[in-house]
Amino acid sequence: MGTDADVIIIGASPAGISAAIASAEQEIDIILLERKAGIGDPPHPANTFFDGMFDRTSEIIHPEYVMREMAGMEIVSPAGGRIVVETPGYVIDRKKFDEYHARDMIKHNVDIRTGVAAHNIIRKDRHIRVSTSDGTFSSEIVIIADGIVSNLSALAGLHPTKYPHDIAWAIEAEVEADGIGEPDHFEYYIGSFAPGWKATYSPCGGDRANLGIFVRRHGQDVSRFFDLWLARFKKEKNISDLKIIRKHTGGDPIATIPNEIVADRIMVAGGAAGQSGIAYGMRAGEICGTVAAKAIVTSNTSKKELSGYQRLWEKEFKSEYNLGRSALEAMRKMDDKDIDRLVGLFAGADVNRIIGTGTPISKAFRVMRFMLRRRPVSALSCIPSVIKAGI
Ligand SMILES: Cc1cc2nc3c(=O)[nH]c(=O)nc-3n(C[C@H](O)[C@H](O)[C@H](O)COP(=O)(O)OP(=O)(O)OC[C@H]3O[C@@H](n4cnc5c(N)ncnc54)[C@H](O)[C@@H]3O)c2cc1C
């Protein structure tokens, strides 16, 4: 029996799109299934990133989708202490971003089927079948890139993340108020009002901004945390008249850590595989698509062959993801006073100089060294939480 394509990709996520382009560049036939009626419509709420995040991808940031360039970020402790990091960042129009990449897929002859939801994946003989709302498709390999609530990986018998209970459930609202979009730094608030991760303020220019809350281990409905964050934000910024335009809900797999992301003829990428973040998802998709293309060319779609994707991903990212999880776990276990003390260590310091350049591990090492030199007792008081978190 013939197949409809060499590779079927489920989900036009950043990872799915990048996997499609990377495979198609090797002349592989691709069908991409997306259940939304149009790519990026409605858009995913993820719409910010910083310089350097795309360095490992083939993406060159394009003005077509950049809404606003930012000067940096401020991390704010429960008592209001601030760490200011000057590092260029971007707010993007996520719909335009996705449409820009959809055009790139079309240039690469990817067969995009929108409005088609995949229901199940069945391995049959040497092929794999995907049953969908538009009939059954078959291919040699399926790449699952269907986002955070990846029920298809589970149906295929995979456990793609190590800590699935650690998704940060989120609400992000587009809001409007006088001048709320004008500051040129993102603000990230940490503390017990956003347990396990953060509350965010992303000024989008003029009178528009996004306010978000990301919470781990307190259930999927985080609206009570969002309401508290909104009240706190209005008080802090002295805003009485704030209009909520639209609310998005979702999950960020920031601390879930990739686990079993390949099987015979199946690969998982992006949020579905615990690879959080737009740029990180795109790089994972590129690796995944390249390995899938090689497997098609060599007619070897076994788990052993496809594991090349997992190995390459781990080489580039494993220690970075583990470090990120450990830091988040340490923070989750700190009380507000610990966090204030930690942020206080950086008062008056040139944070950019401390962080320096290099790998995330070398940056983390320099930060730890600074903390120990500056106030050994305070820095050491944070270490029990860090040790508990398993660093
Ligand atoms: C509120 C919020 C804000 C965030 N902000 C940022 C940010 O600013 N920057 C950042 O880097 N990261 C951010 N993140 C992290 C975010 O999770 C990722 O960066 C990324 O955008 C999500 O990619 P994904 O791989 O999870 O897939 P998604 O972008 O969720 O894409 C999955 C796609 O698969 C489709 N799909 C699902 N099931 C099926 C099916 N059965 N059949 C066919 N199609 C299907 C969906 O319609 C969707 O288009 C944010 C997360 C949340 C929840």
Going by CA atoms, what residue is nearest to atom 3 of ligand 1?
46
Q: Report which ligand 1 atom has the smallest distance to the Cα of 40.
A: 49
Query: How far does the centroid of ligand 1 lie from the alpha carbon of residue 278, in Å?
Result: 8
**pTM of the model as a whole:** 0.93
Among 252, 284, 311, where does a domain finish?
Answer: 252
- For the chain, the domain total comes to 3
Pocket flag, ligand 1, residue 22 (CB < 6 Å): no
Does 11 contact ligand 1 (Cβ within 6 A)?
yes
| Mean pLDDT over the full length of the chain | 92
In a domain, 311, yes or no: no
For residue 219, how many other CB atoms are within 10 A of its CB?
8
- Which residue intervals of the chain are DSSP H helices? 14-24, 94-107, 151-155, 223-236, 278-297, 303-333, 336-344, 351-355, 360-374, 376-388
Residue 203: helix, strand or coil by DSSP?
strand
Q: Please give the distance of CA 309 from its chain centroid, rounded to a whole number.
A: 19
pLDDT, tens only, 13-45:
999 999 999 999 999 999 999 999 999 989 999
Pocket test for ligand 1, best of 8, 9, 13 (most atoms within 8 A of CB): 13
d(CA 269, CA 284): 6
| In the block, residue with structure tokens 């615990």 | 274
**pLDDT surpassing 70 at residue 124:** yes
Residue 34 and residue 100 share a domain: yes
Peptide bond into 183 cis (omega under 30): no
Determine the atom of ligand 1 nearest the C-alpha atom of 148: 26
Check pLDDT > 60 for residue 164: yes
Cα dihedral sign for 171, 174, 177, 178? positive
Distance from the CA of 282 to the center of ligand 1, in angstroms? Answer: 11
**Ligand 1 pocket, 34 CB below 6 A?**
yes
Do both 203 and 277 map to the same domain? no
Q: In this structure, is the dihedral angle defined by the CA atoms of residues 269, 275, 279 and 284, taken in order, positive or negative?
A: negative
Whether residue 270 is found in the same domain as residue 138: yes
For residue 341, what are the CA distances in angstroms to 78, 167, 334, 347?
10, 27, 10, 10
Note the pLDDT of residue 391. 38
Query: Does residue 117 have its Cβ closer than 6 Å to ligand 1?
Result: yes
- Answer whether residue 157 is part of any domain: yes
Domain boundary among 234, 252, 270: 252
Q: Length of the chain in residues, anyone?
A: 391
Residues 32 and 105 in one domain: yes
Quick: pLDDT tens for 136-159.
999 999 999 999 987 899 999 999
